[in-house]
Structure 1
Amino acid sequence: MQARNSFLLPLLTILVVIPMLATDIYLPAISFMGEDLIASHSAIMLTLTSNMAGYSISLLSSGVLSDVYGRRIIVLCGIFIFALASLVSCFVTSVDQLTWCRFFQALGGGCSTLLARVIVRDLYDFKSQVRVLSYLAAGLIASPILGPIIGAHLTVHYGWRSIFYALSFFSFISFGLLCVFMKESKPIELGGNLPVSNILKKYLKLLTHYEFLFHTLIISFAWTVYFSFTSSSPGLLQRIYKLSPLEYSYLFSLSISGYIFGTIFIRRNIDRMDLKYLIYFSGLIIFISTSFLAIFSLLDIDSLFLLLPCIFLSLFGVGVIFPATQAGVTRSFKTDIGLISGLFYSIEMMFGAFASFILSIFSSASWTSTSLLMLCSAVMIVALTCIDRFSSFRFTLRHIKRIL
């Protein structure tokens, strides 16, 4: 696959949208699923936890496998697993069965989420990577904005199982398109193998690499901010405010649009602003907005006119951080890009699984638990960026003293 291939961006967009759509289209139907499968709020939330756990395992393994066997074959296997799991989900009769199906959906879909970004790293220089990743991030907005609306209409008119029929159809069609148009982006080395001990050593070495650890923790806490709201949103908006699936989908899409403005902002400012300054700036926005969100919730102020603007600004910051960290994490490396990216995204999804597990402990969704989890994550982002800026300042001072 060459960077000038006119099919490249559409194919990459398909790869990142499919697994995200599986969650976003699913959100408006959560309460209906709980009623139909006779499941509690905690049990339904565990379907989101299993989804994040499947993502994490998929990301950790698919990057390594793609370094050995190539990107194309791993992507195709992943999409096929995702399609099969979606089809089986149409016929589940219990929440436990749905939990396992969601796990295998993510196990297959995580491959495409990761390898779309790895392919960008294979084919583009650094500045172009940030632009392409921001385009992909913007393309992802079709999922959180349109996904819930589509899911709400399908649920209202055809029942919640129609969502999984739609996902099955879309993923099998996508599998066919990828078979025909997707080419290999990485030369496959003959005699490649999978030395497990060597891989573990590389993982441990990465976890002590400053730049890798910085970008990984930043995106993981940013993902916690994002996923805390999205996973809680059906309970927050539908149960507390008694919104219909359609009303919920439109309000959710409006809130989540802050993310798209974040991706537009970084695309327009990447040439004239330092990447880490953009991360620092975004962290402050997330911290301020989640602080107000937590204050409002602790004071029992439940007006959506006050709460949702805070969500919008938080997700604006997340929209800047995602493409910035995705491009920055591999900047210091020349080889093992799949392995590095796999560990990077796997840790991010582990944080998402942990966030949804924490929220599942509560018997029902609440603005207080959600906002406090978002605020804690924002505090960590600001702390990490401040430590990085202080370390860079000290390094610069030492360098000046040597020169003088």
Structure 2
Amino acid sequence: MTTTTTPPPEARRTGPDRGDGRSEAATRGDRAAHVPLGVLVSVTALTMIAPLATDMYVPAFPLVVQDLGTTATSLQLTLTTYFVGMALGQLLGGPLSDQLGRRRPLLSALALMVVASLGCAVSPTVAALTAARFVQGLAGGWAMVIARSVVVDLASGPTLVRSLNLVQGVAGVAPVLGPLLGAALLEHSGWRTSFWLLVAWSAVMIVVVRLVLPETLPTRHRSSGGLRHLRDAGARVLRTRRFTAHLVVMSLSMGVVFAYVAASAFVLQSMNGLTPTQYSLVFAANAVGLMAATLVSARLAGRVPTTLVVAVGLAATGAAGVLLLVGAAWFDMPLWAALPGFFVLMTAQGLIGPNAGALASGAVPDDPGTGSALLGFVQWSTAGLVAPVAGAGGAATAVPMALMVLAMVLVSAAALRSATRP
């Protein structure tokens, strides 16, 4: 696709379409002035759907294995297919929303989430559950990337950083509530109840989107050109050095999180004898640390350079990685190394991931959907690649996890340096 003119910054995509071809933010002449509270709440609720779809039913794995007459290995495939669906949904959903606008694709994704969650709830076999989980991940990733694009449509600069941190910080309660809610549901009902809850959540979000969420991408700013444009937009975004560098930092931050997820159960339960309840409490405390750091990042936006916040997070991650490596290599990972190491590791990601993502999105203001799609695709693909490597030591050793963390910190530091180079 070719363009003959480039609109001035104040005329670009700036806010909800009023119906006359102009956006509210454009009429104010300030794209970064305000993101409505209703939009932030809606985007946060949309962002929570995907993690809840995983975290709520993980505690029920033993019951699902027994109920469906399958094996733990086969059931693990329902997670793998879900992450594959998440990655593909974000890769496709963002660019298509750049062409069609935000509301229609978002409503379609939520409708698909209702159908997929219903399929999970009534699945008679593990094969049916695996297929439904793939579609559920596809719909969740599709909705998540469009929700993020809505914020990018409305804000830039410190307001974009602050808004995305607020969304991620509040949505970060999902990894804390998910397992606890799933366990509570198991006490009073079967494992299928968590999927029925997702059916209801998605249906409510359809109503919310219709009533609260405006169309933030005016027709005049939508792209055209079909698949060729998707290819060209992706290539254009990836050629933007600041975007690509921050993409690496954000994706490896997700890799650190899943290195922890893959190894922490072995370290804390198998090596140190914590009970499942004690492990859940530690897991929740680390998730609270991540959420708190993300909210602090939101408060620092516009006051402290965002790149500096990311650098501090990388330094903390490196220190935690060194502590974990020492504990794993020389002391068989005792609690005095594991507990503070994991807490600092997870808390630091609240300073890195959302900020790096906001910096990446800010680097490609003319292709927000494509940028968000690539961020989501690479992020979840990295998680899927890192987790099995980091957990390779199993209950025997945590050295692979610690080495993976340190390697990802070094690569992230190099990428951050590249992003800040003139």
TM-score, structure 1 normalization = 0.86
Aligned to 2:19: none
2:136 to 80, 89, 105: 105
2:167 to 115, 128, 136: 136
Aligned to 1:206: 237
Q: Which runs of 5+ in 1 are unaligned?
A: 396-404
Which amino acid in the other structure matches residue 307 of structure 1? A
User: For residues 244-259 of structure 1, what are the structure 2 equivalents within 5 Å?
Assistant: 244=276, 246-259=277-290
Deviation (angstroms), 1:247: 4.7
- Please give the alpha-carbon distance, in whole angstroms, between the structure 2 residues aligned to 1:352 and 1:207: 20
Measured at CA, do residues 304 and 152 of structure 1 come closer, stay the same or move farther in structure 2, by a change above 3 Å? farther
**Retained in 2: the 8 A contact 1:27–1:234?**
no
**Retained in 2: the 8 A contact 1:59–1:110?**
yes
1:291 to 322, 326, 334: 322
Q: Which runs of 5+ in 2 are unaligned?
A: 1-15, 17-23, 25-33
Residues 1:156 and 2:187 are matched in the alignment: yes
**Retained in 1: the 8 A contact 2:249–2:356?**
yes
Aligned to 2:411: 383
1:243 to 239, 252, 275: 275
Which amino acid in the other structure matches residue 240 of structure 2? H
Query: Which whole-Å deviations, capped at 9, do the CAs of 1:121-173 have from their partners, x for residues lacking one?
Result: 11123111111111111111220111111111112331222211222222222
**Retained in 2: the 8 A contact 1:68–1:189?**
no
Moved more, 58-67 or 292-301: 292-301
Measured at CA, do residues 42 and 376 of structure 1 come closer, stay the same or move farther in structure 2, by a change above 3 Å? same
Deviation (angstroms), 1:355: 2.7
2:145 to 92, 98, 114: 114
Measured at CA, do residues 40 and 250 of structure 1 come closer, stay the same or move farther in structure 2, by a change above 3 Å? same
Measured at CA, do residues 202 and 301 of structure 1 come closer, stay the same or move farther in structure 2, by a change above 3 Å? same
Instruction: For residue 330 of structure 1, give the secondary structure of its aligned residue in structure 2.
Output: helix
- Please give the alpha-carbon distance, in whole angstroms, between the structure 1 residues aligned to 2:98 and 2:139: 17
Residues 1:89 and 2:117 are matched in the alignment: no
Measured at CA, do residues 304 and 377 of structure 1 come closer, stay the same or move farther in structure 2, by a change above 3 Å? closer
Aligned residues: 390
Deviation (angstroms), 1:380: 2.7
Deviation (angstroms), 1:195: 2.6
Instruction: For residue 373 of structure 2, give the secondary structure of its aligned residue in structure 1.
Output: helix
Deviation (angstroms), 1:311: 1.4
Measured at CA, do residues 162 and 192 of structure 1 come closer, stay the same or move farther in structure 2, by a change above 3 Å? same
**Retained in 2: the 8 A contact 1:221–1:378?**
no
Measured at CA, do residues 31 and 248 of structure 1 come closer, stay the same or move farther in structure 2, by a change above 3 Å? farther
**Retained in 1: the 8 A contact 2:245–2:419?**
no
- Please give the alpha-carbon distance, in whole angstroms, between the structure 2 residues aligned to 1:321 and 1:85: 32
Which amino acid in the other structure matches residue 89 of structure 1? C
- Please give the alpha-carbon distance, in whole angstroms, between the structure 2 residues aligned to 1:20 and 1:277: 28
Query: Which whole-Å deviations, capped at 9, do the CAs of 1:35-58 have from their partners, x for residues lacking one?
Result: 433444443333222111111101
**Retained in 2: the 8 A contact 1:215–1:325?**
yes
**Retained in 2: the 8 A contact 1:226–1:318?**
yes
Aligned to 1:401: none
Deviation (angstroms), 1:188: 2.2
**Retained in 2: the 8 A contact 1:63–1:340?**
yes
Moved more, 226-235 or 5-14: 226-235
Measured at CA, do residues 300 and 48 of structure 1 come closer, stay the same or move farther in structure 2, by a change above 3 Å? farther
Aligned to 1:301: 332
Moved more, 113-122 or 90-99: 90-99
Instruction: For residue 122 of structure 2, give the secondary structure of its aligned residue in structure 1.
Output: coil
User: For residues 332-343 of structure 1, what are the structure 2 equivalents within 5 Å?
Assistant: 332-343=363-374
**Retained in 2: the 8 A contact 1:89–1:98?**
yes
Moved more, 97-106 or 131-140: 97-106
- Please give the alpha-carbon distance, in whole angstroms, between the structure 2 residues aligned to 1:321 and 1:373: 19
User: For residues 68-83 of structure 1, what are the structure 2 equivalents within 5 Å?
Assistant: 68-83=99-114
Percent sequence identity over matched residues?
A: 25
Query: Which whole-Å deviations, capped at 9, do the CAs of 1:93-119 have from their partners, x for residues lacking one?
Result: 333332222211110011221122211
1:368 to 371, 384, 397: 397
Instruction: For residue 159 of structure 1, give the secondary structure of its aligned residue in structure 2.
Output: coil
- Please give the alpha-carbon distance, in whole angstroms, between the structure 2 residues aligned to 1:333 and 1:141: 25
TM-score, structure 2 normalization = 0.83
Deviation (angstroms), 1:270: 3.0
Aligned to 1:187: 218
Aligned to 2:377: 346
- Please give the alpha-carbon distance, in whole angstroms, between the structure 1 residues aligned to 2:221 and 2:175: 41
2:75 to 44, 47, 55: 44
Measured at CA, do residues 368 and 355 of structure 1 come closer, stay the same or move farther in structure 2, by a change above 3 Å? same
Residues 1:18 and 2:46 are matched in the alignment: no
**Retained in 2: the 8 A contact 1:48–1:356?**
no
Higher relative CO (CA 8 A, sep ≥ 6), structure 1 or 2?
Answer: 1
Which amino acid in the other structure matches residue 368 of structure 1? T
User: For residues 276-287 of structure 1, what are the structure 2 equivalents within 5 Å?
Assistant: 276-287=307-318
- Please give the alpha-carbon distance, in whole angstroms, between the structure 2 residues aligned to 1:252 and 1:35: 26
Structure 1 segments (4+ residues) deviating >6 Å = none
Instruction: For residue 7 of structure 1, give the secondary structure of its aligned residue in structure 2.
Output: helix
Query: Which whole-Å deviations, capped at 9, do the CAs of 1:165-192 have from their partners, x for residues lacking one?
Result: 2222222222222222222111124996
Residues 1:146 and 2:174 are matched in the alignment: no
**Retained in 1: the 8 A contact 2:250–2:354?**
no
- Please give the alpha-carbon distance, in whole angstroms, between the structure 1 residues aligned to 2:64 and 2:369: 36
Which amino acid in the other structure matches residue 211 of structure 1? R
Instruction: For residue 368 of structure 1, give the secondary structure of its aligned residue in structure 2.
Output: coil
**Retained in 2: the 8 A contact 1:45–1:356?**
no
